[in-house]
Structure 1
Amino acid sequence: MLGRIIKGIAGFYYVETKGAIIYECKAKGIFRKSGIKPIVGDIVEIEIIDEEKRLGNLTDVLPRKNSLYRPPVANVDQAVILFAIVKPDPNYNLLDKYLIMMRQLDIPVIICFNKQDIATREEAKELYDAYEKCGYQVLFVSVKEEKGLDELKALLKGKTTALAGPSGVGKSSLLNKLVPDADMQTGELSRKIDRGRNTTRHSEIFVVKELSDESGETFIIDTPGFTSLELRGVEADSLMDYYPEFVPFEPECRFGGCSHIAEPDCGVKNALERGEVSKVRYENYRIIYEDLKRMKPDYSRKR
């Protein structure tokens, strides 16, 4: 029987099959031997061991269209990355790393900034100018006042969307608006450290009934909040490929293969001085570049 993993907790996988019947399953030993770890979003084959109790075993994982490693989910059409404009202030470095990961996987991203109701126009404009020029769709919403949600819903309709972001930005509150029966807890923002308490402990798929019809269902994958992200498969010398706004200015660089860091007559740095490249984005690029350089092993040393 085929189904889809909608939740995984402590070695148990909850698989929804035809007719919205959910079975609690365990993965057979063959998965451990082959190094395969089932994740939320996987299309799987199961064998039923107790129909009355809705118990089964996972027997196979079908090939994935794609998969994320942070958060670990599979078969998504797009991702919504949710940050707050203020309280807490956005972690630009974390946001850029997430965008790099999604560009690696060729998964479209919608950048959604919450708490429009308590932010100034200047604060919102800085974010818009920094990320809209990169080719990303940027939305501003107020989950509290339900502003901007209709535009977001239109982008979610008929798709499977991973909802991700750090703690305290209103992710659970947004999910409650989209899926009223999800019964999610809303974390209170810690006044002392100005960070949110992570209330989502595992990834889980929800059907957005309001946006589902005979033409297709709409799914949201809620994921745990995160505060860090380690890039995989990205080297310093290729980092520029993940900053599309640099491309128009690279022909102006004096040197081929310019890293846009220390070289003179760099087209990207000249554009930065003219205000045509975001200072926020360039500073993140420089920090991530230096981090990747430090992480690169030195094979020149004799053993």
Structure 2
Amino acid sequence: MNNKVLLERNGIRFTLCVMAAVSAVCALGVNQSVRQMNILQLMQGLPVAVGIGLAVGIAYYGTMRSILPRLSSLHSAELWAGLSWFNLSLLGTWAIVLPLETAQIDFIEGFAYAAGCARLIGAIYVVFGSSLSNRKKFANTFVMLTVTIMLVITVIKVSLALSLGLVGALSIIRFRTAIKEPEELAFLFFTVAVGLGFGAGKMGITLMAFWAVCIGYIVFYKIRSTSQMENAYMVTIYGTQPDLIARTGQFMSENGFPCEFTRLESGASSTHISFLTELDANSACQVLGQRFREQFPENDITIVQARSLF
């Protein structure tokens, strides 16, 4: 990435961070002055609010620029993308100063917050999730799911008849696609809960719970002892030796490839061993295949990216 593109990207991130902080601080201040019908307080307090927002935004950007690469040096751009969506959604805070009914203001705010939070949830799932399936493709559904739940709750919360009609309508729907891993189900429930909270008009509580869950999940990811395979490959070895498992394990350990055995097929004439290993790049895959052929010329090996199996 050249310096011009990098500067442009950092400039956009900085602008969104500052804009989010200024929007949140100024909108709350303007709303308070408007409610009190105090124009003098508005004129005096707005420059102060802008200054506070700028200071908070600059500190916010500096903190995120320091933290995000440390959380994931390889995928910090994905985290920044999710955070930028969230920052952009904070423009919905200005809805509180519009001359609209409370229900309409709650809808505008909730819709913006739901989209931003869902995109950030997707980024966290892509970077820190441990599922072997295509996390990026799965996370792309979070925004639509969250805003749909938010819209449904907004519509039915004012009418018992509509809520009963929704129960009848959903009773004819059959979801036949199985959730492969519990982590996927947990993130689906998380996005649904965020949509429910914003749809019910509980903006502050939902935002606090959202950040608490996200930070807690990242902290748990960092401190848990089990190793994560971000670039998992399924390796299958075919041979006839009775001690093939022990020899393969020793080979992987000596060459610095972490592995987790998943399958063993042993027959009268051959033995098949399958295990997961983590390879950082295609060159590492070639190195593994080359070293294996040199040490086990009589055996065959197959290496397949694990995510392509799901």
Indicate whether the TM-score tops 0.5.
Answer: no
More helix by share: 2
TM-score range, shorter chain: under 0.3
Q: Highest Rg: 1 or 2?
A: 2
Structure with the higher fraction of residues in strand conformation: 1
